[in-house]
Structure 1
Amino acid sequence: MDTNMIYLIGIIAASIVALAILMYIIPLGLWFQALISGVRISLLQLIFMRWRKVPPRVIVNALITSAKAGIQLKRDDLEAHFLAGGHVQLVVNALVSADKANLSLDFKMATAIDLAGRNVLEAVQMSVNPKVLNTPPVKAVAKNGIELIVKARVTVRASIKQLVGGAGEETVLARVGEGIVTSIGSANSHKDVLENPDSISRVVLEKGLDAGTAFEILSIDIADIDVGKNIGAELMMDQANAEKNVAQAKAEERRAMAVALEQEMRAKAQEARAKVIEAEAQIPMAMAEAFRSGNLGIMDYYKFKNIEADTTMRNSIGDPMSRPDKPKEAK
């Protein structure tokens, strides 16, 4: 292969690479697609988009979609929304869907909803086709103490004006659950709720639970009601057990105090007996002293012993159990 052929191949390869780079920098195909679709945009603007880190195809496709749907959008607005981190094609599709469904949604509101982190296209679709939310089992107690377990289906429609700053589905379900608990709690008997379950829906809807949320509640349907525990009876039983335990504790306290008092009285009795024994032990000494001092004669001593013997005999007669000659009972 001669040198001229090598140069020719090199020139052709370089030309192809240069043409590819030129086609990337100057998207002629995209410009031609926009031109035949009725979107006026210059090649220079497409080149500037590359330099501004904006993909031209995203902007051009969005302009073509909006133009075919009869919605006039500005290129600068689409670029600004993309640079702000928004989803350009999603916003355009939402605008087209809202226009076809006769919903009031402008570009500013759509971009605000998109930048707020919500799916604006899904919101528009939910406005046209309402969504059904299933509540978790809600437990509530009527005035007669019977527990009811309720499951409800909440039909909601997205409120376009409330999507920015409005509460989500969790708040709606929480408010509906609160309304169910309030409605059942105000019923005199659980039978009233079982006979008229629509009373729950009516009371809950009257509370305006969708205020401040991104949804509009269309209906609340009671899907299932189950009878749970007798909470009132359980509370009464718990109260009775608590009162019984308190009474037992107080009785045990009184018994302990009585036992302590009895032990104290026994101790005092033993102390008194000890004092009596101590005093009796001093009698012989006192009698000896009386003999020595002449205050007690021998006849007085005999009389004292006779009286003591008579007293002992009377005590023995009065208490047969203390007699030493008590006959043993026959077995």
Structure 2
Amino acid sequence: MFDLLLNAELSGFIIIVVLIVAGLSIFFRFIPVGLWITAYFSGVKIGLFTLVGMRLRRVNPNSIIRPLIKATKAGLDIDVNSLEAHHLAGGNINDVVDALIASERANILLTFEQACAIDLAGRNVFEAVQVSVNPKVIETPNISAVSNDGIEIIARAKVTVRANIERLVGGAGEDTIIARVGEGIVTTVGSSKRHTEVLENPDLISQTVLNKGLDSGTAFEILSIDIADVDVGRNIGAKLQTEQSEADKKIAQAKAEERRSMAIAKEQEMIASVQEQRAKVIEAEAQIPLAMAEALRSGNLGVMDYYQLKNVQADTVMREAVSREIKDESSATETDHQ
């Protein structure tokens, strides 16, 4: 009996201990007491129920309190609610806090609202502050331009830029800078009378491009433009002239072929017309015997008249034959003399 009571009491004690341990585990897991202690000794005054509220809002307290501790240690006054709101909006709190710390050390005016707006706009606010402190070099690809004498110039430039904090939201990016510098290079080379002018004075490109104010409307401020390389390319003018000459030649050939085709067609038309006339003559000649026979039957033509007509025809044929023989003999004589 005593053993049964002892076993029952031991079992009850074990169950109580298990329940206590489970309760403490759930308590410490749901309520970040350790994080609250860390914040308290780091100088961040935050209530324990505030951390519980973050848990209820499904916000990881570590992602809020750790950056808040870093900002407090750096001397920044940031409200925990503002950090949580930015986190819920999808922002990167660590980048915002790092950017604020870096801007304060570099004496750059950057408010918490500006940093949050830049971060939510999709830009790396911490990198933007770094570029403001340490200017960035953007290298353009090879840009081809043609001077007035038809020679191609291939140039590559290095653009030193500094981030403009005020224009980071809504300002154009690096691609716009590269495109505008490329346009300036093409304009400068294209306005040069000779390509040698560009080769002798590459800084002419830099001065012209800088005077155009290419950084307006962008998130950067152009500090300098340096021409890294200038090369001579193809003779575009000569190539264009050659291509134009070849095109003119083909056009002339096409027109000549058209005229030849028209001449052949006209010749064939004339041949067909002559053949048609010959056919009519032959047809008319075929009617002559019939007409003469009809004239003889009707008495309109006598027998003697008919024989006289035949004699005239025979005499005409003889005269044509004699004329041809005389012409052939004269041609042979001229050939012998030659």
Q: Give the TM-score normalised by structure 2.
A: 0.87
Partner Cα distance (1:9, 1:41) in 2:
37
Q: Counterparts of 1:259 and 1:320 in 2: how far apart (Å)?
A: 35
Of 116, 123, 144, which aligns to 1:118?
Answer: 123
Deviation at 1:161, TM superposition (A): 0.8
AA aligned to 1:211 is: S
Any idea what SS the aligned residue of 2:229 has? strand
Whole-Å Cα distance in 2 between the matches of residues 163 and 188 of structure 1? Answer: 40
Query: Which residue of structure 1 lines up, in the alignment, with residue 336 of structure 2?
Result: none
The one-character-per-residue Cα deviations of 1:250-273 (angstroms, maximum 9, x if unpaired) are 211111111111111112222222
Alpha-carbon offset, residue 19 of structure 1? 2.2
Q: Distance in 2 between matches of 1:83 and 1:278?
A: 108
CA distance in 1, matches of 2:211, 2:124: 30
Decide which moves more: 314-323 or 245-254: 314-323
Query: What secondary structure, in the 3-state scheme, does the structure 2 residue paired with 1:221 have?
Result: strand
The residue correspondences of 1:1-331 to structure 2 (distance < 5 A) are 2-320=7-325
CA distance in 2, matches of 1:277, 1:47: 123
| Per-residue deviation, 1:125 | 0.8
Offset at residue 314 of structure 1 (A): 2.2
Q: Which runs of 5+ in 2 are unaligned?
A: 1-5, 333-338
Structure 1 9/282 Cα, relative in aligned 2: closer, same or farther at 3 Å?
A: same
Aligned length: 324
Percent of pairs with identical residues: 58
Give 1:163 shift: 0.9
Contact residue 46 and residue 56 of structure 1 kept, 8 A? yes
What is the CA-CA distance between 1:121 and the residue it aligns to? 0.7
What do residues 166-217 of structure 1 show as CA deviations (whole Å, max 9, x unaligned)? 1111222122222222222222222222222221122112111111111111
CA distance in 1, matches of 2:127, 2:190: 37
Moved more, 15-24 or 265-274: 15-24
Name the SS for the 1:258 alignment partner.
helix
Query: Aligned-pair distance for 1:301?
Result: 3.7
CA RMSD of aligned residues (A): 2.5
Cα distance in 2, alignment partners of residues 146 and 258 from structure 1: 45
State the alpha-carbon separation in 1 of the partners of residues 83 and 275 from structure 2. Answer: 107
| Structure 1 unaligned spans of 5+ | none
After TM superposition, give the deviation of residue 291 of structure 1 in Å. Answer: 4.1
Q: Give the stretch that moved more between structures: 130-139 or 31-40.
A: 31-40
C-alpha distance in 2 between matches for 1:269 and 1:56: 109
Report the Cα distance in structure 2 between the residues aligned to 1:209 and 1:46, rounded to whole angstroms. 49
CA distance in 2, matches of 1:113, 1:152: 29
Distance 2:326 2:55 in 1: 126
Structure 1's 321 and 219: CA in aligned 2 closer, same or farther, altered over 3 A? farther
- Distance of aligned partners of 1:115 and 1:314 in 2 relative to their CA distance in 1, 3 Å threshold: same
SS in structure 2 at match of 1:62:
helix
Structure 2: how far apart are the matches of 1:59 and 1:260? 93
What is the CA-CA distance between 1:321 and the residue it aligns to? 10
Offset at residue 289 of structure 1 (A): 4.2
Q: Secondary structure at the match of 2:76?
A: coil
Q: Is the 8 A contact 1:316 1:322 kept in 2?
A: no
The answer as to whether partners of 1:176 and 1:209 remain within 8 angstroms in 2 is yes
Distance 1:97 1:294, change over 3 A: same
The one-letter amino acid of 1:223's match is A
* Equivalent position amino acid for 1:312 in 2: V
